[in-house]
Structure 1
Amino acid sequence: MAKFVLAGKADCPHYAKAELLADTLKRSLPDFRVHKLCMHPGEWKEWLEAMCERNGWKHEHSPLVWRELVEQGGKGMLLGGFSDFLDHCQDFYGITSDMSTDLMLSITAENVEAKMNLIAEEQHHVSLIKPLHIWISGACSTTCQLLIPSLLSAEVFPGISAVSLHLLHLEGNTEELCGLKMEIEDLALSMLHQATVHTDLEEAFQEADVVLLLDDRCSCGENEDNPKEISEIYRQYGRLIDTRANKQVKVIVSGDLFVNLRCSLLVDSAHSINSHQFVAMATQLENEARALIAEQLKVKAADITDVIVWGNISGIFYIDLQRARVFNYDGAIKGPAFFSLPVQEVFCDRKWLETDFQHSVRHQREAVAAKTGQAPAMSAANGILTLLKAWNGTGKPDEVMSLGLLCPGSYNLPEGIVLSVPATFTDGKWSVLFDVSIEDKLMEQLQQCGNELQQEKELVSDSCK
């Protein structure tokens, strides 16, 4: 069986002539097969160079004709251009071309029109797809790698059919990012429209609908505990989000260092975006506290609900259990699966709750890192997913969550700081939960948190000046 491949520019008369000759051969010879590649003139040169380099051929003009060795395997056998194809047809099949100039030009015009119509149709189909643009900074982190498989799902983004995922890692290893991109594509997730990689801010946050900021350390890796090192980059992030992102963008700040401060820097720099669109993630702390309480009460961590984190998520904070409840507790009073009891009523050791418990939550990540050799990434990824589900309306109804929010004038604390407070989500919007008791001890803790956050902001403001 003879199988030929005929490639050429849509506006090439010789390609039109070779195309007609191939059609004549198909009608005359039952076993003759031809595959046509009609290409846009602007794409031809690059495609031809790549094809010749891959096969070790030398050819410079349109058309390009080769014979596929379908029964023998291996690369195809180059014939050449139109004249070479014509000679081959005359020698082997006794068929030649008698195409007139007018017919040749007519077919060329038809080829160009057909190619342009095909391109227009493809562009129209692409324009109908409106993907959700998700940007992730610190994309080389383990948290990002664990986050992505569950991120692109209808459970997290209901009603979304396509997602464009943008991986940003400043001064990162481009090869590592490209490898991550390949691995993401290999997941074959139905919602993934495309994945792109970025190592600078030239195109960062374009058309962003969701921004997940995982980088909490300076790119140089020096003085990583100094807020001055990250303040300028987060001011830049804020300005870019302000000018490039969707005005309804959802921004989540995560990490282990200066979480509240980084969020407040974004709010200060993104003047045209509502501060409600910026949230610092405290869900990871909540879950760590739930796990410690569950261990004491002999239940699952999921059986503990409505734990509140007040204050500076990565600094001075306080775990409040005034609304916390426990399900499936094996105590004197039992009930069906939906029955729960207040944690403070069933927990006898109040001293432990106020001392060892608070201390253990503060050092839980250090304990995990000491055993695994790396920062806890799985719990961070899960915390982000939980927050996104609630923000997108798929979380548990009436669930109390702790969020780092801009709380102007609340709790008699300084203006302009981001504070972790209890909140609930309704129809994709959060509201602060004020139905809580602020006793003297809690107010004292909040004052310490506020002072710490104010000092952090003053420090980076002085460095900026």
Structure 2
Amino acid sequence: MSKEAIRVLVTGAAGQIGYALVPMVARGIMLGPDQPVILHMLDIPPAAEALNGVKMELVDAAFPILKGVVATTDVVEACTGVNVAVMVGGFPRKEGMERKDVMSKNVSIYKAQASALEKHAAPNCKVTTHQLHGFLLRFICLIGSNSYFAIRSQVVVVANPANTNALILKEYAPSIPEKNITCLTRLDHNRALGQISERLKLQVSDVKNVIIWGNHSSTQYPDVNHATVKTSSGEKPVRQLVADDTWLNSEFITTVQQRGAAIIKARKFSSALSAASSACDHIRNWVLGTPEGTWVSMGVYSDGSYNVPKGLIYSFPVTCKNGEWSIVQGLSIDEFSRKKLDLTAQELSEEKTLAYSCLS
């Protein structure tokens, strides 16, 4: 018996990330190659013509699992019956704007979106956020029930600052369980894997268990202390094979932290392709699970693990099974790493204070 189609909403679908994301969804990269989908695409009226062009391309691509396309500027039509909603659109930082000004604008957006999720999302709605250099805001919400995923619903939010915006979302959508709110740091995780594979001149699939700790910002800590590489003689520690602690503790970290800015400088646009791909990776692992012995990085509600203050959304190493994530426990933290973990936690605490001041 064929599976029932999942209705996937992508807002801002005519934009760069939407344009990169919708073919990935239609090809089955996010939800699986045998899961039929119906794409609902929403954008603002000035983008209606471009949106229709995206729809034309989706039809022309003849994706086998794509069972229908709705392209609209009407939010009610776009949201009706959807199982997955990807909301893209936010307030970018402009010249002369202070950090608090941007925070205030996006806090207002999150308040409104959270209220909508509170009213219309499924009771078990899951949320994840991701910052994309302050340019875009995205929500992905899996709403409804489907036994194929072993979960009832899931939400992904993208905005600047991602971790803190998730806290605001939770504030105005209190019925969404804390366990269901996450922050997308998979893009940073994948960037770290890519840097190691290039350094060692091997397949990226041979590298596993890097960690992104903390905030999706320039204070994040890409950590390879527990990462390994598959070799012909078994798994070897990344530090042993790289054999250059100076590079791993300096250039490697700053390259991952500043990769987005480097791409903007090179392309003159943000990293839409890798962001869309990472969003698919995040959802796929959360829903379908992580391979045995492998973890990924996700920003989740801190329970105090690794002495991270409770109540922050902080990126940890996690494993996923049956639609649930669990923080990997028992990893050793050296003095260098401890300082990095504390620094990014301090920034998140300051962001939280600033964001909540914007709520008043």
Query: In the alignment, what sits opposite 1:309?
Result: 212
Instruction: Summarize the alignment of residues 110-189 of structure 1 with structure 2, pairs less than 5 Å apart.
Output: 131-154=5-28, 156-158=30-32, 161-169=35-43, 173-189=47-63
Q: Does the aligned pair in 2 maintain the 1:212–1:252 contact within 8 Å? A: no
Instruction: Summarize the alignment of residues 234-253 of structure 1 with structure 2, pairs less than 5 Å apart.
Output: 234-253=110-129
Q: Following TM superposition, by how much is the alpha carbon of 1:378 offset from its aligned partner in structure 2, in angstroms?
A: 1.5
Query: In the alignment, what sits opposite 2:251?
Result: 356
Matched, 1:287 2:182: no
Amino acid at match of 1:341: K
Distance across 2 between alignment mates of 1:270 and 1:316 = 28
Q: Following TM superposition, by how much is the alpha carbon of 1:171 offset from its aligned partner in structure 2, in angstroms?
A: 6.6
Q: Following TM superposition, by how much is the alpha carbon of 1:317 offset from its aligned partner in structure 2, in angstroms?
A: 0.7
Query: In the alignment, what sits opposite 1:344?
Result: 239
Query: In the alignment, what sits opposite 1:393?
Result: 288
Distance across 2 between alignment mates of 1:224 and 1:217 = 13
Which of 255, 259, 263 does residue 368 from structure 1 map onto? 263
Q: Which moved more, 1:220-229 or 1:362-371?
A: 220-229
Amino acid at match of 1:401: V
Instruction: Summarize the alignment of residues 180-219 of structure 1 with structure 2, pairs less than 5 Å apart.
Output: 180-199=54-73, 205-218=79-92
Amino acid at match of 2:114: G
Larger radius of gyration: 1
* TM-score, normalization by structure 2: 0.81
The one of the two structures with greater contact order (alpha-carbon pairs below 8 A, sep at least 6) is 2
Deviations along 1:189-229, one digit per CA (max 9) or x if unpaired, are 33334333454655675554333344453499984962222
Cα root mean square deviation, aligned: 2.9
Distance across 1 between alignment mates of 2:275 and 2:16 = 10
Deviations along 1:155-192, one digit per CA (max 9) or x if unpaired, are 54249754232223457522222222232233333333
Query: In the alignment, what sits opposite 1:327?
Result: 230
Q: Which moved more, 1:423-432 or 1:408-417?
A: 408-417
Query: In the alignment, what sits opposite 1:33?
Result: none
Query: In the alignment, what sits opposite 2:107?
Result: 231
Summarize the Cα distance change of 1:440–1:425 in structure 2 as closer, same or farther, 3 Å threshold: same
SS at match of 1:398: coil
Distance across 2 between alignment mates of 1:370 and 1:307 = 26
Q: Following TM superposition, by how much is the alpha carbon of 1:395 offset from its aligned partner in structure 2, in angstroms?
A: 4.9
Deviations along 1:45-75, one digit per CA (max 9) or x if unpaired, are xxxxxxxxxxxxxxxxxxxxxxxxxxxxxxx
Question: What residue ranges of structure 2 are gaps of 5+ in the alignment?
Answer: 134-159
Deviations along 1:397-434, one digit per CA (max 9) or x if unpaired, are 33210001111444444443210110001122211111
Query: In the alignment, what sits opposite 2:170?
Result: 267
* TM-score, normalization by structure 1: 0.64
SS at match of 1:227: helix
Summarize the Cα distance change of 1:130–1:266 in structure 2 as closer, same or farther, 3 Å threshold: farther
SS at match of 1:392: helix
Distance across 1 between alignment mates of 2:283 and 2:174 = 23
**How many corresponding residue pairs?**
330
SS at match of 2:315: strand
Question: What residue ranges of structure 1 are gaps of 5+ in the alignment?
Answer: 1-127, 329-333
